[in-house]
A and B are shown apart, each in its own frame.
Chain A
Amino acid sequence: MTAAAVEVKRLTKTFNAGRPDAVDALVDIDLTIRPGEFVSLIGPSGCGKSTQLRLIANLLEPTTGEVLVNGKPARQARLDQDYGMAFQQAGLFEWRSVVKNVELPLELKGWNKEKRHGRALEMLELVKLPEFAEHLPWQLSGGMQQRVAIARALAAHPPLLLMDEPFGALDEMTREHMQAELLRICGETGTTVVFVTHSIPEAVYLSTRVVVMSPRPGRIKTLVDVNLGSTRTVDTREDPAFFRKVTEVREALRGMQVTDLDEAGLEP
């Protein structure tokens, strides 16, 4: 039996534990993600979806419970660079050319110059930006920068990709284009994805499963299976089955306090 891509067991996270201003960010989280799945975390702000992603990435330590990535403890998985990560801000290093940005994770893994340059160029092919290899980040548009960030996250061919609202700062058209690109890339590479988003259509379009979370304290409310097939095109967005899933996720979110939803700025 192959190990689950991500296994979260009885996880809780309390910030400022033991102090009067202690906050329960996450309570009783259990979640298993199979290899090759695309799982979105959605919910109003304060529901702990970004926190959960950072716990999987071992950028935060859990208060209690356990996180396994590829069957290893999260810390070991981080040290082995078993996942790539992308954030809302592309976070490119502005003094490095595009190709050198993509090389960075490989550089830290100790790859030699030739090997990592070759791989970086391959990755730029994958995100369709090969002609921008020697450009500096500021010369690229927001969407292009985000594609470089995805190329960088996948450069070491990690089995898992963690994304925290990566398209949140992009306009609607660029966003839909990037979503299609992401699906294509993950299809080609077989990467498992955990994706945090505020957008219901985005979550439904991309995911095989949507995890709906509720705030204060953050917990998993419902899991919605999205059976829209593995090839999703522009037509998928106009498919009645797509709208049914959008409605299902929206219904699941509806039970929460309206003020929470307002804060989150949920779309549409």
Chain B
Amino acid sequence: MRSTTFTGSRRVRTNHSVVEVLWPPLVFGLGFLALWELAVKVFDFQPYFLPPPSAIWDQFKENPQLIWNATKVSGLNALIGLLVGTALGIAISFLLGRFRLVNELMTPLAIALNAVPIFVLVAVFNNMFSITSEVPRRLMVTLVVYFIVLVNVTRGLREVGPTQLELMRSYAASEVAILRKVRVPNAVPYLFTALKIAAPAAVITAFVSEYFGGSQNGLGSRIVASIAISKNATAWAYVLGACLLGLTFYLITVALERVTTPGGVAARRRAGA
């Protein structure tokens, strides 16, 4: 039957084997590292300029406990900020969708807030709390995540197909029913788009917040400290830790998306609906 083979061929495209998906980035990544190693040898770069990947890896292996401890601190800050920022972003976008007045009050504020060179705020927050407090950093992450989630989820709740809205009206559906059965499911892919941007951004924000003083316990402050005493390879080992942390956050988001949305965003795009 024409139609079954037609859907069948689409299925095949979505189910690449793991090997098929992984080999191009793996080959590229290993090639890049090999080139880097080679470049350091050939051009005889000094360690303070650019350490070779092998030296960074040695440092990484030698200090697993230190790197792990620092990763836990930054990771926890990023995670808390991510969760609170997401919850806040979702809550406010629901209010924006429901009440025109809230929308008019909040939108300029949200835009103004986003226009502030945001890391400047860490210094302000640092003054508000005790010097060893992690709260300023978490607040920073919350703010960054909040804005990304707010913008995307608000769009998801609003940008429902006109045909779908007319249909719901023809079913005499209440606003609550439209929200539950159309707007919220419509907004789910938008939420995950936001989270895929916000998760790595949360990690980056957590590091950079550490540059502005406070406890010297996270990955960001370890990187700064290592550079200050010319331990470049160590600094890079912390950067590697930071990179892994950001990747972990991203992958968890992608996994969550797979579990919650049937067919995922890709399916939605293909539907063109």
Q: If A89-B161, A95-B188 touch, does A78 touch B170 (CB 8 Å cutoff)?
A: yes
- Interface-side segment among A9-17, A32-40, A80-88, A227-235: A80-88
User: In the complex, A138 Cα to B273 Cα: how many Å?
Assistant: 8
CB–CB A141/B6 < 8 A = yes
Residues of A59-90 whose CB lies within 8 A of B: 59, 78-81, 83-85, 87-89
Cα–Cα distance between A109 and B181 once the two chains are bound (Å): 13
One digit per residue, 1 when the CB lies within 8 angstroms of any chain A CB and 0 when it does not, for chain B 166-201 equals 110111110001000110011010000000000000
Of the residues B164, B170, B263, contact of A59 by C-beta under 8 Å: B170
- Chain B contacts of A93 at CB under 8 A? 164, 181-182, 185
Q: Which of A159-176 contact B (CB under 8 A)?
A: none
CB distance from B147 to the nearest CB of A (A): 26
Which one, B3, B172, B181, B268, contacts A94 given CB within 8 A?
B268
Chain A residues with CB under 8 Å of B185's CB are: 93, 95-96
Of the residues A81, A97, A140, contact of B171 by C-beta under 8 Å = A81
Tell me the nearest residue of chain B to A89, going by C-beta: B163
| Contact call B166/A108, Cβ cutoff below 8 A | no
Residues of B233-272 contacting chain A, CB below 8 A: 261-263, 267-268, 270-271
Whether the pair B171, A108 counts as a contact (CB closer than 8 A) is yes
Cβ-based interface call for B46 (8 A): no
Instruction: Specify the chain A residue showing the minimal Cβ separation from B1.
Output: A131
Given contacts A93-B185, A135-B7, contact A59 B169 (CB under 8 A): yes
Rounded to whole angstroms, the CA-CA distance of A96 and B177 in the bound complex is: 15
Residues of B within 8 A of A108 (CB): 171-173, 177, 181
Are A91's CB and B268's CB within 8 A? Answer: no
- Interface status of A257 (Cβ within 8 A of chain B): no
A95 touches which one: B169, B170, B261 (CB < 8 A)?
Answer: B261
Whether the pair B271, A94 counts as a contact (CB closer than 8 A) is: yes
> For the complex, what is the distance from the CA of A92 to the CA of B271, rounded to whole Å?
10
Q: Are A138 and B268 in contact (CB under 8 A)?
A: yes
Chain A: residues with Cβ within 8 Å of the partner, total of 35
Residues on the A chain within 8 Å of B188, using CB: 95
Q: Are A104 and B10 in contact (CB under 8 A)?
A: no
Q: A95-B188, A140-B7 are in contact. Are A85 and B170 (CB under 8 A)?
A: yes
A213 to chain B, nearest CB (A): 21
- Which residues of the partner chain A approach B169 to less than 8 Å between Cβ atoms? 59, 78
- Compute how far the CA of A80 lies from the CA of B170 in the bound complex, rounded to whole angstroms: 10
Nearest chain-B residue to A107 (Cβ)?
B181
A-chain residues with CB within 8 Å of residue B273 when the two chains form the complex: 89, 91-92, 94, 137-138
A61: min CB distance to chain B, Å? 12
Nearest residue (CB) in A for B186 is A95
CB distance from B208 to the nearest CB of A (A): 37
**Cα separation A143 to B267 with both chains bound (whole Å):** 18
Q: Which residue of A lies closest to B178 (CB)?
A: A108
Q: A46 within 8 Å of B by Cβ?
A: no
Contact of B161 among A79, A91, A135 (CB under 8 A): A91
Chain B residue contacts of A139, Cβ below 8 A: 7, 10-11
| A residues apposed to B, CB below 8 Å | 54, 57, 59, 78-81, 83-85, 87-89, 91-97, 104-105, 107-109, 131-132, 135-141, 144
Given A94-B268, A107-B181, A108-B181, output 13 extra A-B contacts at Cβ < 8 Å. Answer: A87-B167, A88-B163, A91-B166, A93-B185, A94-B273, A95-B186, A108-B177, A138-B267, A138-B268, A138-B273, A139-B7, A140-B7, A141-B3
> Which are the 5 A-B pairs with shortest beta-carbon distances?
A138-B271, A91-B163, A139-B7, A85-B170, A95-B185
